[in-house]
């Protein structure tokens, strides 16, 4: 189980399949724009659905702030596709079926359960925010927007 990345750490690059089966290389995003990378436990659970819908509703604000939003969980491509279609998600969900990327970022909860952790990575590839909270799914979006606005103002 990897140690959780901290503010100031360099975000490791990785590539995973999205809900459409396309390979997404985050190394190609970092350097061009900010990235909100959110790890969540499981598609179709109540907290994860609430979180995804909130990211959907605020997606335009993240884009206006120059950030791309990407969700990551251990669900497979087909499950991600169903989840994204059902909730009209405008962003990509990546299938980390072996939790390799979760390990890389250390995005675990208590007792090695999949955590709900959001990382905001700036254009230079540096982690500027780590927000971990299982019980406050909507707060991930508020915190992400707040820190993104701070980066843009600074």
Provide the domain count of the chain: 1
What pLDDT sits at residue 1?
65
Looking at the domain assignment, is residue 10 inside a domain? no
| Full 3-state SS string of 34-69 | EEEEEECCCCCCHHHHHHHHHHHHCHHHHHHCCEEE
Q: What is the CATH number of the domain that holds 26?
A: 3.40.30.10
Looking at the domain assignment, is residue 100 inside a domain? yes
> What's the mean pLDDT in 22-31?
94
Looking at the domain assignment, is residue 74 inside a domain? yes
Are 147 and 130 contacting, i.e. CB atoms less than 8 angstroms apart?
Answer: no
Range of the domain at 40: 15-153
Looking at the domain assignment, is residue 3 inside a domain? no
> What's the mean pLDDT in 7-11?
97
Looking at the domain assignment, is residue 113 inside a domain? yes
DSSP 8-state class, residue 101: H
CA 119 to chain centre: 7
Q: Which tens digit of pLDDT belongs to each residue from 99-132?
A: 999 999 999 998 889 999 999 999 999 999 999 9
Looking at the domain assignment, is residue 1 inside a domain? no
Strand order in the sheet with 117-121: 92-95, 67-73, 34-39, 117-121, 127-132
Angle CA 40–70–136, to nearest 5? 35
Looking at the domain assignment, is residue 69 inside a domain? yes
Active-site positions read 48
């Amino acid at each position: 189980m990897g140690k959780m990345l901290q503010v100031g750490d360099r975000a490791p690059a990785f590539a995973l399949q999205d809900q459409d089966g396309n390979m997404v290389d985050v190394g190609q995003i970092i350097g061009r724009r900010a990235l909100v990378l959110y790890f969540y436990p499981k598609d179709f659970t109540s907290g994860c659905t609430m979180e995804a819908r909130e990211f959907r509703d605020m997606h335009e604000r993240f884009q206006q702030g120059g950030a791309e939003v990407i969700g990551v969980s251990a669900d497979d491509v087909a499950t991600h596709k169903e989840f994204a279609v059902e909730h009209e998600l405008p962003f990509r969900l990546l299938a980390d079926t072996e939790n390799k990327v979760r390990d890389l970022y250390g995005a675990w909860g208590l007792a090695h359960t999949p955590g709900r952790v959001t990382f905001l990575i700036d254009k230079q590839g540096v982690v500027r925010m780590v927000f971990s909270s299982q019980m406050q799914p909507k707060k991930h979006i508020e915190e992400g927007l707040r820190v993104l606005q701070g980066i843009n103002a600074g």
